[in-house]
Structure 1
C-alpha cells in the first residue's frame, strides 16, 4: 500500500497547472482556425441550399402562351373542417 506524500501532491498540482496552460495556449492558436473553417462550411451549405431552392423553383415554373403557371409541391389544398356539433350561445342569468 502506498502512502500519499506532500511532494506527490505538489507534482500533481503542477501537472494540472501545466496542462491547463498548455491547453489554453493551444486553444488560442487552433480555435480561431477551427471556428473559421466551421463558418466557411456553414456558408457553403447555406449557398448550396439556396442554389438548390432557386433551381427547384425555376424547374417548377412553366411558361405557356404568356401565362406563368407555378406548380409547388407545398401547395395546401383547402380542407373541410370537421363539424363536431352545433354552436350554442349561452347567456348568463342573474
Structure 2
C-alpha cells in the first residue's frame, strides 16, 4: 500500500509540474527575452552615445600613470624596406 501511494504521489507531482510548466513557460520566456533585450539594448545605446570621431581625428582616453618611464625610452626609428 505504501509503494502504491508513493508512486501515485510521484505521478501527481510529475503531471502537476508538466501542466504548470505549460502554463507558466511562455510567461517566463517572455520575461527572460525582455530582460535580455534590455541588457543588450542598453549596451548598444551606451556605445552609441559616445561621440563619433571624424576620420583621422586622434583622441586619448587614458593617460599613462607613470610619466617618468618615457624618459628611459630610446629614440624611435622608422625603417623602410628597400628592394
When normalised by structure 2's length, the TM-score is 0.64
RMSD: 2.4
1:30 paired with 2:24, answer: yes
| Runs (5+) with no aligned partner, structure 1 | 1-6, 74-94
Partner of 1:69, secondary structure, is: coil
| Runs (5+) with no aligned partner, structure 2 | 62-83
* Correspondence for 2:48: 54
Structure that is richer in helix per residue: 2
Q: Which has the higher contact order (CA 8 A, sep 6+)?
A: 1
Q: How many aligned residue pairs are there?
A: 62
Structure that is richer in strand per residue: 1
Highest Rg: 1 or 2?
1
Distance 1:29 1:41, change over 3 A: same
Whole-angstrom distance in 1 between the partners of 2:31 and 2:60: 35
